[in-house]
Copies of this chain bind each other. A is one copy, B any other.
């Protein structure tokens, strides 16, 4: 972790790739990641962990699917949401968004189970911020 504060806007300005989370800092064995997103991610499921989203800019939608059917939650800027472990989900952002995530280090951006990963989605456990 950095021993100086990190400005999230500066962090976000340091990269352009969409759907490719950067690790801003760590808290014990959790990562704090930021990502720029636009369009649709891929339906996927984290079997062993919840996933926290905070919208820093724009609007994020998260499709949710379980035995009861499918619905979408909408997160404007400043909203938070936790996708519970085991819930199939697909983030999307028709108008683009910047988001912050908390999740255990090593968590894959496409989960433990997922649909075919499209070329615009980076299957990663997160990249170093300034790399």
The distance in angstroms between the C-alpha atoms of A78 and B32, with both chains bound, is 14
Q: Quick one: which of B24, B50, B76, B78 contacts A1, CB cutoff 8 A?
A: B50
- Interface of A: prevailing SS: strand
Instruction: Flag if A28 contacts B50 (CB, 8 Å).
Output: yes
Nearest Cβ in chain B — how far from A22, in angstroms?
Answer: 12
The distance in angstroms between the C-alpha atoms of A102 and B6, with both chains bound, is 16
Instruction: Flag if B78 contacts A9 (CB, 8 Å).
Output: yes
Instruction: Flag if A27 contacts B8 (CB, 8 Å).
Output: no
Interface residues of A (CB under 8 A from B): 1-2, 4-9, 24-28, 30, 32, 49-52, 54, 56, 73-76, 78-82, 84-85, 100, 102-104
